[in-house]
Amino acid sequence: MTYTIFKSINVLNPATNFNEKSNVVIRNNKIISISKKFNSETITGNNPITIYDCKGLTMSPGLMDMRVNIGKTENLEITQKIALKNGITSIVILPNQTPKLNNPSIIDHIHRQSENIILPRVNAYGAATKDDAGLEMSELGLMSEMGAVGFTNGNKSIRNSLVMRRLMSYSKMINRPIIQHAEDEDLSGISQASTTSIRGEMNEGEISTRLGLIGIPSCAEVIIVERDIRLAELTGVHYHVAHVSTREAINVIRRAKKKGIRITCDTAPPYFLLNENALLNYDTSFKISPPLRTEDDRIAVIEGIQDGTIDVIASDHRARSKDTKIQPFSAASIGAAGIETLFLLTLELVHKRLIDLKKAISLISFNPSKVLKIKEPTLEQNEDATFIIFDDSVNNTINQKDLMFSPTPFDGRNVKGKILATFIQGNASHVDPILKQRLLNEF
């Protein structure tokens, strides 16, 4: 039996609205005490004890990233290890992998491949349609039985209205959400239906005209959202919009929520920290989907976070090889890494006093769990000791050279915050040297 004690640490638990300086005692894999005054009676026998002085530090539930592209299933373990160091104790992977997550056996394989209890838990979305083609439903019921937490075509929009209605009706029956990448592919120029289609490259507007790049109109997002909301109302399904990026879409979602329709949504850091001006030098690290929008859209995303229209912040992690990003802008691949910067960039909203720390942690831990009906992370007595420790006051700089994944749209950005430890079921899976320096010999 082993004990770990965290002395004078601020415990922030969004699930119970608890936010107090406390002494936390861990025995093996369970939290056995959270109290202002340490009770020595919680320590029994002559057992090993590790004590940390945590003055000025914060403990919160581990983070959940509900939108992660791993590319190939063999990348799963390395993704888990990197997520771990960045405070993420649970990830949800998209089906656009190799092989595609479009049948029960591959979903089961993913879960079996990720049973290591000292690494972040892995959940998976099942592909909504076979081969992401948007024409024929996948085996939703069987994938759900194997643990699929929702259904989506990942980085592709579900275009066909009849197919979407059928997907929603069936998902309602098995109580799983439909997650949509909301983009009218014809307007965006990515439909393969016509050989004359022109592939959109960035947000349509003055900047795209000045740069000579093909524009994607912002209405390509809201058109799909408006259609899907009507279908969600018809079927009663839980409908979730991924990475919302425009004021129009956010306004429509806000109205639908007030109407009582079961709708949730997420966004990603590029959409509340950057706008289309970042592309003025043709830097392909800013080529993402949805594209970076106008400053007004960026402000609308922040407003949506503040008033609760936006439920979750996800990394939208989609690492790309350097070879595919050093191409001319039109030929460069779409996507950017995000799993290593999710925590730091979400904290930027706190440091700018746009939201408080409790809301920030909720957006990247409690809320995604609630949206996907996964056991919500919490810090309470007799619960599994899965949590992070961080210092939100440390000055930091995001440097691509220090990151394992590329590219980041935030290279050189000054931020504040540092993950000092990640514990999973009582295991000290990651402990930064800074925290090790705070080891004490006695309480």
Instruction: Look at strands 439-440 and 49-53 and give their pairing.
Output: antiparallel
- State the DSSP code for 176: -
Nearest to residue 88, comparing CAs of 382, 377, 379, 381? Answer: 377
Nearest to residue 43, comparing CAs of 61, 59, 27? Answer: 27
H/E segment holding residue 299:
helix 295-307
CB 125 within 8 A of CB 148: yes
Q: Torsions phi, psi of 160, nearest 5?
A: -75, 120
Kindly state the tokens that stand for 149: 């937490």
Residues making up the chain, counted from first to last: 443
Nearest to residue 91, comparing CAs of 227, 113, 408? Answer: 113
Nearest to residue 356, comparing CAs of 386, 380, 392? Answer: 392
Kindly state the tokens that stand for 20: 């107090």
AA letter at 306: Q
Kindly state the tokens that stand for 77: 């373990």
CB 224 within 8 A of CB 240: no
H/E segment holding residue 12:
strand 3-13
Q: Where are the beta strands (DSSP E) in 28-130?
A: 30-35, 49-53, 58-61, 63-69, 88-93, 121-124, 126-127
Distance between CA atoms of residues 57 and 10, nearest Å? 6
Q: Where are the beta strands (DSSP E) in 156-311?
A: 178-180, 202-203, 215-216, 239-241, 263-267
- Is 316 a residue of the active site? yes
CB 137 within 8 A of CB 102: no
CB 87 within 8 A of CB 422: yes
Distance between CA atoms of residues 49 and 352, nearest Å? 39
From the list 228, 297, 316, 384, the catalytic residue is: 316
CB 424 within 8 A of CB 386: yes
Q: Tell me which residues are annotated as active site.
A: 316
